[in-house]
Amino acid sequence: MLAKLASLFLVLAFGVVSQVSAMPSQTVSFDDPVTEKRYQSLIKELRCPKCQNQNLADSNSQIAVDLRNEVYAMLKQGKADMEITQYMVERYGEFVLYRPKISGLTYVLWFGPAVILLIGVIIVVVVARKKSATKKELALSDEQQQRLSKILEEKE
Amino acid sequence: MGKIIRFLPLIVFIALGVVLYRGLFLKPQELPSALVGKPVPEFTLTGLKDGDRTLTSVGQKGDIKLLNVWATWCPSCRYEHPYLLDLAKSDQFKLYGLNYKDERDLAIKWLEDLADPYQYSIFDPNGRLGLDLGVYAAPETFVIDHNGIIRKRFAGPIDGKVWQKEFAPLIKTISQERARGE
Protein backbone atom coordinates (compact mmCIF):
# COMPACT_ATOMS: atom_id res chain seq x y z
CA MET A 1 0.00 0.00 0.00
CA LEU A 2 2.72 2.39 1.01
CA ALA A 3 4.75 1.48 -2.08
CA LYS A 4 1.70 2.10 -4.25
CA LEU A 5 1.13 5.48 -2.66
CA ALA A 6 4.77 6.36 -3.13
CA SER A 7 4.73 5.44 -6.81
CA LEU A 8 1.54 7.40 -7.31
CA PHE A 9 3.17 10.34 -5.66
CA LEU A 10 6.18 9.99 -7.95
CA VAL A 11 4.01 9.90 -11.04
CA LEU A 12 2.17 13.00 -9.91
CA ALA A 13 5.39 14.79 -9.11
CA PHE A 14 6.95 13.97 -12.47
CA GLY A 15 3.76 14.86 -14.24
CA VAL A 16 3.98 18.30 -12.73
CA VAL A 17 7.66 18.59 -13.55
CA SER A 18 7.18 17.66 -17.19
CA GLN A 19 4.38 20.19 -17.46
CA VAL A 20 6.56 22.91 -16.08
CA SER A 21 9.35 22.11 -18.51
CA ALA A 22 6.91 22.38 -21.41
CA MET A 23 6.48 26.07 -20.63
CA PRO A 24 8.82 28.51 -22.36
CA SER A 25 11.87 28.40 -20.17
CA GLN A 26 12.86 31.88 -19.29
CA THR A 27 13.11 33.62 -16.02
CA VAL A 28 12.38 37.26 -15.65
CA SER A 29 12.42 39.18 -12.45
CA PHE A 30 10.76 42.45 -11.69
CA ASP A 31 11.11 44.75 -8.75
CA ASP A 32 7.41 45.29 -8.37
CA PRO A 33 4.36 43.12 -9.08
CA VAL A 34 2.64 45.78 -11.21
CA THR A 35 5.39 45.78 -13.83
CA GLU A 36 5.38 42.00 -13.81
CA LYS A 37 1.63 42.02 -14.49
CA ARG A 38 2.15 44.48 -17.33
CA TYR A 39 4.86 42.23 -18.75
CA GLN A 40 2.60 39.19 -18.59
CA SER A 41 -0.32 40.96 -20.22
CA LEU A 42 1.89 42.50 -22.93
CA ILE A 43 3.40 39.19 -23.99
CA LYS A 44 -0.08 37.71 -24.09
CA GLU A 45 -1.41 40.52 -26.28
CA LEU A 46 1.47 40.46 -28.74
CA ARG A 47 1.47 37.84 -31.45
CA CYS A 48 4.57 35.93 -32.44
CA PRO A 49 5.32 36.92 -36.06
CA LYS A 50 6.82 33.55 -36.90
CA CYS A 51 4.43 31.08 -35.32
CA GLN A 52 1.33 32.95 -36.17
CA ASN A 53 -1.26 31.45 -33.91
CA GLN A 54 0.71 31.84 -30.74
CA ASN A 55 1.39 34.86 -28.64
CA LEU A 56 4.82 35.77 -27.35
CA ALA A 57 4.10 34.13 -24.02
CA ASP A 58 3.33 30.72 -25.50
CA SER A 59 5.95 30.54 -28.20
CA ASN A 60 9.47 29.27 -27.84
CA SER A 61 10.65 30.31 -31.28
CA GLN A 62 13.80 32.39 -31.41
CA ILE A 63 12.01 35.54 -32.46
CA ALA A 64 9.47 35.21 -29.65
CA VAL A 65 12.31 34.91 -27.13
CA ASP A 66 13.94 38.01 -28.62
CA LEU A 67 10.74 40.00 -28.54
CA ARG A 68 10.01 38.95 -24.96
CA ASN A 69 13.46 40.17 -24.03
CA GLU A 70 12.75 43.39 -25.84
CA VAL A 71 9.49 43.90 -23.95
CA TYR A 72 11.33 43.16 -20.72
CA ALA A 73 14.11 45.62 -21.52
CA MET A 74 11.65 48.34 -22.48
CA LEU A 75 9.67 47.86 -19.29
CA LYS A 76 12.90 48.12 -17.32
CA GLN A 77 13.59 51.40 -19.10
CA GLY A 78 10.25 52.63 -17.84
CA LYS A 79 8.46 52.67 -21.19
CA ALA A 80 4.68 52.81 -21.24
CA ASP A 81 2.60 49.93 -22.61
CA MET A 82 1.49 52.07 -25.53
CA GLU A 83 5.08 52.87 -26.45
CA ILE A 84 5.97 49.18 -26.41
CA THR A 85 3.06 48.09 -28.60
CA GLN A 86 3.77 51.03 -30.92
CA TYR A 87 7.40 49.92 -31.16
CA MET A 88 6.31 46.43 -32.18
CA VAL A 89 3.73 47.70 -34.68
CA GLU A 90 6.33 49.94 -36.31
CA ARG A 91 8.47 46.88 -36.96
CA TYR A 92 6.06 44.02 -37.48
CA GLY A 93 2.87 45.81 -38.48
CA GLU A 94 -0.64 45.76 -37.01
CA PHE A 95 -0.49 42.01 -37.31
CA VAL A 96 1.40 41.63 -34.02
CA LEU A 97 -1.56 42.94 -32.06
CA TYR A 98 -4.03 40.30 -30.98
CA ARG A 99 -6.50 43.13 -30.48
CA PRO A 100 -6.06 45.21 -33.62
CA LYS A 101 -6.95 48.89 -33.58
CA ILE A 102 -10.23 49.94 -35.15
CA SER A 103 -9.43 51.17 -38.63
CA GLY A 104 -10.74 50.90 -42.17
CA LEU A 105 -8.97 47.58 -42.53
CA THR A 106 -10.32 46.04 -39.35
CA TYR A 107 -13.94 47.26 -39.47
CA VAL A 108 -15.07 43.88 -40.77
CA LEU A 109 -13.16 42.14 -38.01
CA TRP A 110 -14.65 44.26 -35.27
CA PHE A 111 -18.20 44.73 -36.47
CA GLY A 112 -18.70 41.77 -38.83
CA PRO A 113 -19.98 39.40 -36.14
CA ALA A 114 -22.49 41.97 -34.84
CA VAL A 115 -23.74 42.64 -38.38
CA ILE A 116 -24.13 38.93 -39.08
CA LEU A 117 -26.01 38.50 -35.79
CA LEU A 118 -28.29 41.39 -36.74
CA ILE A 119 -29.01 39.83 -40.13
CA GLY A 120 -29.78 36.52 -38.42
CA VAL A 121 -32.19 38.19 -35.98
CA ILE A 122 -33.96 39.98 -38.84
CA ILE A 123 -34.38 36.72 -40.76
CA VAL A 124 -35.75 34.94 -37.69
CA VAL A 125 -38.21 37.75 -37.00
CA VAL A 126 -39.42 37.89 -40.61
CA VAL A 127 -39.86 34.11 -40.82
CA ALA A 128 -41.61 33.94 -37.46
CA ARG A 129 -44.03 36.72 -38.42
CA LYS A 130 -44.84 35.07 -41.68
CA LYS A 131 -45.56 31.79 -39.91
CA SER A 132 -47.92 33.36 -37.43
CA ALA A 133 -49.68 35.15 -40.30
CA THR A 134 -50.26 31.88 -42.14
CA LYS A 135 -51.46 30.30 -38.90
CA LYS A 136 -54.14 32.97 -38.63
CA GLU A 137 -55.22 32.26 -42.19
CA LEU A 138 -55.46 28.57 -41.45
CA ALA A 139 -57.50 29.06 -38.31
CA LEU A 140 -61.28 28.54 -38.68
CA SER A 141 -63.44 31.59 -38.96
CA ASP A 142 -66.38 31.97 -36.54
CA GLU A 143 -68.78 30.78 -39.18
CA GLN A 144 -66.73 27.67 -39.90
CA GLN A 145 -66.36 26.99 -36.19
CA GLN A 146 -70.15 27.03 -35.79
CA ARG A 147 -70.60 24.65 -38.70
CA LEU A 148 -68.04 22.33 -37.25
CA SER A 149 -69.80 22.23 -33.88
CA LYS A 150 -73.08 21.54 -35.63
CA ILE A 151 -71.61 18.63 -37.58
CA LEU A 152 -70.06 17.17 -34.47
CA GLU A 153 -73.35 17.48 -32.56
CA GLU A 154 -75.25 15.77 -35.35
CA LYS A 155 -72.83 12.86 -35.31
CA GLU A 156 -73.42 12.33 -31.63
CA MET B 1 -39.57 36.75 -51.13
CA GLY B 2 -40.57 33.15 -50.42
CA LYS B 3 -38.49 31.97 -53.33
CA ILE B 4 -35.43 33.83 -52.17
CA ILE B 5 -35.70 32.30 -48.72
CA ARG B 6 -35.95 28.86 -50.25
CA PHE B 7 -32.64 29.43 -52.02
CA LEU B 8 -30.98 31.18 -49.11
CA PRO B 9 -29.19 28.06 -47.78
CA LEU B 10 -27.80 27.36 -51.25
CA ILE B 11 -26.63 30.97 -51.63
CA VAL B 12 -25.00 30.92 -48.20
CA PHE B 13 -23.38 27.59 -48.99
CA ILE B 14 -21.93 28.86 -52.26
CA ALA B 15 -20.69 32.08 -50.65
CA LEU B 16 -19.05 30.15 -47.82
CA GLY B 17 -17.56 27.72 -50.31
CA VAL B 18 -16.00 30.54 -52.31
CA VAL B 19 -14.57 32.20 -49.20
CA LEU B 20 -13.13 28.98 -47.80
CA TYR B 21 -11.77 27.88 -51.18
CA ARG B 22 -9.91 31.16 -51.53
CA GLY B 23 -8.68 30.71 -47.98
CA LEU B 24 -6.87 27.55 -49.08
CA PHE B 25 -4.54 29.62 -51.21
CA LEU B 26 -3.84 32.47 -48.82
CA LYS B 27 -0.35 32.71 -47.45
CA PRO B 28 -0.57 34.26 -44.03
CA GLN B 29 3.19 33.80 -43.59
CA GLU B 30 3.80 36.50 -46.14
CA LEU B 31 3.31 39.54 -43.98
CA PRO B 32 3.48 42.94 -45.55
CA SER B 33 6.36 44.72 -43.94
CA ALA B 34 5.55 47.66 -41.74
CA LEU B 35 8.68 49.28 -43.16
CA VAL B 36 7.72 49.42 -46.82
CA GLY B 37 7.93 53.07 -47.87
CA LYS B 38 10.26 53.95 -45.02
CA PRO B 39 14.00 54.43 -45.00
CA VAL B 40 16.32 51.73 -43.70
CA PRO B 41 16.55 52.07 -39.90
CA GLU B 42 19.72 53.58 -38.49
CA PHE B 43 22.35 51.19 -37.26
CA THR B 44 25.98 50.98 -36.29
CA LEU B 45 27.42 47.55 -36.89
CA THR B 46 30.60 46.04 -38.22
CA GLY B 47 31.32 44.27 -41.47
CA LEU B 48 31.31 40.48 -41.37
CA LYS B 49 34.65 39.86 -43.01
CA ASP B 50 36.12 43.15 -41.92
CA GLY B 51 35.37 43.44 -38.21
CA ASP B 52 37.14 46.80 -37.93
CA ARG B 53 34.94 48.45 -40.46
CA THR B 54 31.98 50.33 -39.00
CA LEU B 55 28.87 50.30 -41.14
CA THR B 56 25.98 52.71 -40.76
CA SER B 57 24.23 52.32 -44.09
CA VAL B 58 23.52 49.75 -46.76
CA GLY B 59 25.43 50.47 -49.96
CA GLN B 60 25.34 53.87 -51.61
CA LYS B 61 22.61 56.28 -52.51
CA GLY B 62 21.71 56.05 -56.17
CA ASP B 63 22.09 52.27 -56.31
CA ILE B 64 19.22 49.86 -56.22
CA LYS B 65 20.03 47.41 -53.46
CA LEU B 66 18.94 44.02 -52.28
CA LEU B 67 19.54 43.25 -48.64
CA ASN B 68 19.50 39.52 -48.00
CA VAL B 69 19.14 38.36 -44.41
CA TRP B 70 21.02 35.11 -43.96
CA ALA B 71 22.64 32.87 -41.37
CA THR B 72 24.57 29.64 -41.29
CA TRP B 73 21.91 28.03 -39.07
CA CYS B 74 19.28 28.53 -41.74
CA PRO B 75 18.75 25.62 -44.16
CA SER B 76 16.72 27.68 -46.65
CA CYS B 77 19.65 30.08 -46.92
CA ARG B 78 21.75 27.23 -48.27
CA TYR B 79 18.97 26.42 -50.72
CA GLU B 80 18.81 29.95 -52.12
CA HIS B 81 22.55 30.53 -52.07
CA PRO B 82 23.30 29.36 -55.65
CA TYR B 83 20.58 31.67 -56.93
CA LEU B 84 22.08 34.58 -55.01
CA LEU B 85 25.37 33.91 -56.77
CA ASP B 86 23.47 34.32 -60.03
CA LEU B 87 21.83 37.53 -58.85
CA ALA B 88 25.18 38.96 -57.83
CA LYS B 89 26.12 39.11 -61.52
CA SER B 90 23.34 41.57 -62.30
CA ASP B 91 24.30 45.17 -63.06
CA GLN B 92 20.80 46.48 -62.26
CA PHE B 93 21.24 46.26 -58.51
CA LYS B 94 23.76 45.43 -55.85
CA LEU B 95 23.38 42.59 -53.40
CA TYR B 96 24.26 43.07 -49.74
CA GLY B 97 24.03 40.60 -46.90
CA LEU B 98 22.82 40.92 -43.34
CA ASN B 99 24.34 38.11 -41.34
CA TYR B 100 21.66 37.62 -38.72
CA LYS B 101 22.29 36.21 -35.23
CA ASP B 102 25.22 34.15 -36.33
CA GLU B 103 28.81 33.49 -35.37
CA ARG B 104 31.47 35.34 -37.27
CA ASP B 105 33.81 32.37 -37.81
CA LEU B 106 31.06 30.12 -39.08
CA ALA B 107 29.67 32.80 -41.35
CA ILE B 108 33.06 33.61 -42.89
CA LYS B 109 33.73 29.93 -43.45
CA TRP B 110 30.33 29.57 -45.14
CA LEU B 111 31.21 32.36 -47.59
CA GLU B 112 34.61 30.80 -48.25
CA ASP B 113 33.13 27.35 -48.87
CA LEU B 114 30.11 28.37 -50.92
CA ALA B 115 31.43 31.60 -52.49
CA ASP B 116 30.38 35.09 -51.50
CA PRO B 117 27.57 36.69 -53.53
CA TYR B 118 27.49 39.88 -51.44
CA GLN B 119 29.20 43.24 -51.96
CA TYR B 120 29.64 42.92 -48.23
CA SER B 121 27.71 41.50 -45.31
CA ILE B 122 26.71 43.41 -42.22
CA PHE B 123 27.41 41.43 -39.07
CA ASP B 124 24.42 41.55 -36.71
CA PRO B 125 25.09 38.96 -33.99
CA ASN B 126 22.36 40.20 -31.62
CA GLY B 127 19.75 40.75 -34.28
CA ARG B 128 19.43 44.47 -33.45
CA LEU B 129 19.11 45.64 -37.03
CA GLY B 130 17.05 42.53 -37.74
CA LEU B 131 14.59 43.59 -35.06
CA ASP B 132 14.41 47.13 -36.39
CA LEU B 133 13.75 45.73 -39.85
CA GLY B 134 10.99 43.48 -38.56
CA VAL B 135 12.90 40.34 -39.50
CA TYR B 136 11.46 37.24 -37.87
CA ALA B 137 13.32 34.47 -39.63
CA ALA B 138 15.92 33.92 -42.29
CA PRO B 139 16.13 34.14 -45.23
CA GLU B 140 14.41 37.42 -45.89
CA THR B 141 15.18 39.84 -48.66
CA PHE B 142 14.55 43.57 -48.77
CA VAL B 143 14.51 45.74 -51.85
CA ILE B 144 15.93 49.21 -51.19
CA ASP B 145 15.53 51.82 -53.89
CA HIS B 146 17.99 54.47 -55.08
CA ASN B 147 16.69 56.90 -52.44
CA GLY B 148 17.32 54.45 -49.62
CA ILE B 149 13.62 53.65 -49.17
CA ILE B 150 12.55 50.06 -48.47
CA ARG B 151 10.23 49.02 -51.27
CA LYS B 152 9.67 45.37 -50.53
CA ARG B 153 10.25 42.70 -47.99
CA PHE B 154 10.13 39.07 -48.96
CA ALA B 155 10.24 36.25 -46.41
CA GLY B 156 11.49 32.92 -47.66
CA PRO B 157 14.09 31.64 -50.10
CA ILE B 158 14.44 33.14 -53.57
CA ASP B 159 14.62 31.00 -56.66
CA GLY B 160 14.05 31.72 -60.34
CA LYS B 161 10.27 31.48 -60.09
CA VAL B 162 10.04 33.69 -57.03
CA TRP B 163 12.39 36.18 -58.63
CA GLN B 164 10.34 36.52 -61.79
CA LYS B 165 7.12 36.91 -59.86
CA GLU B 166 8.11 38.96 -56.84
CA PHE B 167 11.22 40.92 -57.68
CA ALA B 168 11.81 41.41 -61.39
CA PRO B 169 8.78 43.70 -61.97
CA LEU B 170 9.65 45.87 -58.98
CA ILE B 171 13.31 46.21 -59.97
CA LYS B 172 12.12 47.30 -63.40
CA THR B 173 9.75 49.89 -61.90
CA ILE B 174 12.46 51.32 -59.67
CA SER B 175 14.92 51.46 -62.58
CA GLN B 176 12.38 53.46 -64.56
CA GLU B 177 11.80 55.80 -61.64
CA ARG B 178 15.51 56.34 -61.32
CA ALA B 179 15.83 57.02 -65.06
CA ARG B 180 13.11 59.66 -64.74
CA GLY B 181 15.03 61.22 -61.91
CA GLU B 182 12.36 60.65 -59.24
pLDDT of residue B3: 76
Å between B31 CA and nearest CA of chain A: 8
Do A45 and A55 contact (CB within 8 A), yes or no?
yes
- Residue A94, classed as helix, strand or coil, is helix
Q: Tell me the residue range of the domain where B98 lies.
A: 33-180
Number of residues written out for chain A? 156
Interface test with A, best of B131, B135, B142, B153 (most A CBs within 10 A): B131
- Which residues of B fall within a CB distance of 8 Å from A70? 131
The answer, as to whether pTM is greater than 0.90, is no
pLDDT at A18: 45
Do the domain assignments include residue B27? no
CA distances from B68 to A62, A108, B84 (A): 19, 36, 9
| Nearest-by-Cβ selection for B127 from A49, A66, A90 | A66
Q: Classify A80 in phi/psi space as left (phi over 0), alpha (psi -120 to 50) or beta.
A: beta
Residue A21 has what pLDDT?
41
Q: How confident is the model at residue B20 (pLDDT cuts 50, 70, 90)?
A: very high
Using pLDDT thresholds of 50, 70 and 90, give the confidence band for residue A5. Answer: low
Q: Is the pLDDT of residue B26 over 90?
A: no
CATH number of the structural domain spanning residue B127: 3.40.30.10
Average pLDDT, chain A: 82
Lowest mean pLDDT among A26-30, A128-132, B49-53, B142-146: A26-30
Name the strands in the sheet holding B94-100, side by side, starting at the edge strand that comes first in the sequence: B54-55, B45-47, B121-124, B94-100, B65-70, B140-144, B150-155
Query: How far is C-alpha B133 from the chain's CA centre?
Result: 10
- Count H helices and E strands in chain B, helices first: 6, 7
Q: Which residues contact A116 (CB under 8 A, 6 or more apart)?
A: none
- For residue B144, being part of any structural domain is answered with yes
Residue at B12 is within a domain: no
Pick A66's closest partner by Cβ from B28, B131, B133: B131
Tell me which chain A residues have a C-beta less than 8 angstroms from the C-beta of B15. none
| Domain presence at residue B135 | yes
pLDDT of residue A92: 87
What do you get for the CA distance between the two ends of chain A, in Å? 81
Whether B29 and chain A come into contact, CB under 8 Å, resolves to yes
Residue B108 lies in a domain: yes
pLDDT for residue B32: 67
Average pLDDT, chain B: 91
The tally of domains found in chain B comes to 1
**B34, A90 in Cβ contact below 8 A?**
yes
Residue B127 above 60 pLDDT?
Answer: yes
- Helix, strand, coil percentages in chain A from 3-state DSSP, rounded to 5: 70, 5, 25
Whether B141 is covered by a domain: the verdict is yes
Residue B101 domain flag: yes
Q: Is residue B166 part of a domain?
A: yes
